[in-house]
Amino acid sequence: MSSILTNNSAMVALQTLKSINSNLASTQAEISTGKAVGSAKDNSAVWAISKVMEADVKGFKGISESLSLGESTVAVARQASETVTDLLTEIKGKIVAAQEDNVDRAKIQTDIVALRDQITSVVGAAQFNGLNLVDGSQSGTNSNGSVGVDVLSSLDRKADGSVVTSSIGVDAQNLSLTAGTDLAAAAASVGTDTGTAGVIDANDGGTNDSITLDTFAFLDTSGGATATEAVLPNAAGVDTAVNTGMVVGDQLSLTVGSVQGSYVVKEGDTAESVVAGMKNAMVAAGMDSSALTMDIDTNAGQLVITNETNADIAFSFEATRGSGGLSGLGTIDVSTSSGADAALGAIENMIQTSIDASASFGSVEGRIEIQSDFVGKLSDSLKSGIGALVDADMEAASAKLQALQVQQQLGTQALSIANQAPQNILSLFR
């Protein structure tokens, strides 16, 4: 049946042409934008994932900048530490020369003072963007629990969609010549039996053959020293003028014979962790376990050091706040024979302090460099992943465009033919 009111063929041809035109417009949009998923209406799930990943890439760009800044800051500190090590080595050479009687010790002392002033200059100038990691100016605690700063290193997205950041802790190293404030015996001290002061007696059956590091008190947030663990010196209520308790950053130094160990108080330290840290420091410094045994009483928070030899061994202990690692450099005087002898032992500890500082900065600088390289590669991987999700396949789009253009032409012709069908009805009425 033919009808002049309803042209089914034309309607079919029209719908087909509309579909072709819609696909053609979509393909042209892919080609012009380069994206198969350009908006949420194209594919809401894929679009949402891509936008989250794009936000992460933007965050990693900021992290990369943070790592670059951190690496530069640590590099400056490392260079300063290495320079200080070289200068201290030169001072050691002068001190060794002063051991000879037939030398002009006054002129040697003048050279030492000049080198000492240069060390002060190096330490003071070792800053990057105002941050100095070697002059003892840092008081905050980093993610390692030590005095120092953190370098933002990563952006971690969890399965539930939450995001947390990670940091690389950089421990500050105090290479200043500033002498610290001595803490009272109530804060930290070595208890001894009655006997010769400053000496661990020979192990000959007597009772004075051991010393005990056993007195610890920590500053609290009420202006006193009643806390059981270390808090930050800048915490509200803490009074650092009180020297009968310890806070984060205070330094303990124990010398037994020729071995000197140091421990810096960390946030959350208790008496038990302090004595454990001191024992580890003595072991690392080369304590001879056959000559001197070290026993920890974790319940009492004590470190007992016993002389196992048949000779007396001298010891000394000090607890200081804000003490520079090179504070003893200011008192070195080789103008006398006794001063030259004392200086030789002192300079060895200072050289080791600067070497340890250089090693610490070098290690963390290497870690930051590795992390920076990883973040760059991770960002590239994320960008590739986003591209795989939303980018258009240009080869396929080109082929599809050609096919749709042909279909459009055929659809137009089909619609034209369908529109002429009612004309045929006129011939029935001639």
Q: Give the pLDDT of residue 123.
A: 94
| Residue 362 and residue 316 share a domain | no
Please report whether residue 374 resides in a domain: yes
Element (H, E) at 216: strand 210-216
Instruction: Name the pTM for this structure.
Output: 0.68
Q: Name the 3-class secondary structure at 384.
A: helix
Mean pLDDT within 313-324? 86
Q: Name the 3-class secondary structure at 176.
A: coil
| Residue 170 and residue 244 share a domain | no
Q: Give the pLDDT of residue 163.
A: 85
Q: Give the pLDDT of residue 101.
A: 84
pLDDT tops 70 at residue 9: yes
| Residue 233 and residue 125 share a domain | no
| Residue 164 and residue 51 share a domain | yes
Comparison of pLDDT for 418 and 195, the residue scoring more: 418
Please report whether residue 78 resides in a domain: yes
Share of the chain above pLDDT 70, in %: 97
Please report whether residue 404 resides in a domain: no
Query: How far apart, in whole angstroms, are the C-alpha atoms of residue 80 and residue 336?
Result: 31
Share of the chain above pLDDT 90, in %: 31
Read off the tokens for 396.
């396929």
Residue showing tokens 């072991």: 283
Q: Name the 3-class secondary structure at 209.
A: coil
Strand partners, 170: 149
Please report whether residue 207 resides in a domain: yes
Query: How far apart, in whole angstroms, are the C-alpha atoms of residue 125 and residue 121?
Result: 6
Question: Could you report the per-residue pLDDT of 17-69, keeping only the tens digit for each?
Answer: 898 888 888 888 888 878 888 888 888 998 888 888 888 899 899 999 999 99
pLDDT tops 90 at residue 428: no
Counting every residue, how long is the chain?
430
Q: Give the pLDDT of residue 22.
A: 86
Query: How far apart, in whole angstroms, are the C-alpha atoms of residue 337 and residue 385?
Result: 72
Sign for the pseudo-dihedral over CA of 37, 39, 44, 50:
positive
Mean pLDDT within 107-121? 94
Task: Find the domain containing 75 and state its range.
Answer: 47-178+333-384
Say if residues 248 and 235 touch (Cβ distance below 8 Å). no
Query: How far apart, in whole angstroms, are the C-alpha atoms of residue 317 and residue 354?
Result: 21
Strand partners, 212: 191, 304
Mean pLDDT within 336-347? 83
Amino acid at 310: N
Classify residue 112 as exposed, middle or buried by CB count within 10 Å of its CB (0-12, 13-18, 19+): buried
Say if residues 194 and 223 touch (Cβ distance below 8 Å). no
Question: Could you report the per-residue pLDDT of 239-274, keeping only the tens digit for each?
Answer: 988 999 999 878 888 888 888 888 888 888 999 999
| Residue 170 and residue 109 share a domain | yes
Read off the tokens for 58.
């933007």
Query: How far apart, in whole angstroms, are the C-alpha atoms of residue 336 and residue 3?
Result: 127
Alpha helices in 249-328 (DSSP H): 271-284
Please report whether residue 188 resides in a domain: no
Please report whether residue 13 resides in a domain: no
The DSSP secondary structure of 86-114, one letter per residue, reads HHHHHHHHHHHHTTSSSS-HHHHHHHHHH
CATH number of the domain residue 122 falls in: 1.20.1330.10
Comparison of pLDDT for 108 and 249, the residue scoring more: 108
Alpha helices in 129-270 (DSSP H): none
Read off the tokens for 141.
């605690």
Q: Name the 3-class secondary structure at 253.
A: strand
Please report whether residue 277 resides in a domain: yes
Most confident option among 16-25, 104-113, 230-239: 104-113
Comparison of pLDDT for 258 and 116, the residue scoring more: 116
Mean pLDDT within 137-152? 84
| Residue 211 and residue 314 share a domain | yes
| Residue 341 and residue 240 share a domain | no
Taking residue 267's Cβ as centre, other Cβ atoms within 10 Å add up to 19
Q: Give the pLDDT of residue 1.
A: 64
Closest CA to 84 of 33, 138, 123: 123
Q: Average per-residue pLDDT in the chain?
A: 87
| Residue 253 and residue 303 share a domain | yes
The DSSP secondary structure of 224-250, one letter per residue, reads SS-BSS---TTSTT--TT--SSB-TT-
Q: Give the pLDDT of residue 193.
A: 56
Q: Give the pLDDT of residue 195.
A: 64
Closest CA to 222 of 244, 237, 241, 240: 237
Please report whether residue 264 resides in a domain: yes
Read off the tokens for 361.
């900065």
Q: Which of 322, 342, 366 is the last residue before a domain boundary? A: 322
Structural domain count of the chain: 2
| Residue 375 and residue 274 share a domain | no
Question: Could you report the per-residue pLDDT of 149-206, keeping only the tens digit for each?
Answer: 999 999 888 888 788 889 999 999 989 888 788 899 889 988 765 567 788 888 877 6
| Residue 135 and residue 88 share a domain | yes
Mean pLDDT within 136-154? 85
Say if residues 213 and 317 touch (Cβ distance below 8 Å). yes
Ordered strands of the 188-192 beta sheet: 188-192, 210-216, 302-307, 292-297
| Residue 354 and residue 232 share a domain | no
pLDDT tops 90 at residue 90: yes
Please report which confidence band the pLDDT of residue 132 belongs to, taking 50, 70 and 90 as the band edges: very high
Q: Give the pLDDT of residue 206.
A: 67
| Residue 344 and residue 290 share a domain | no
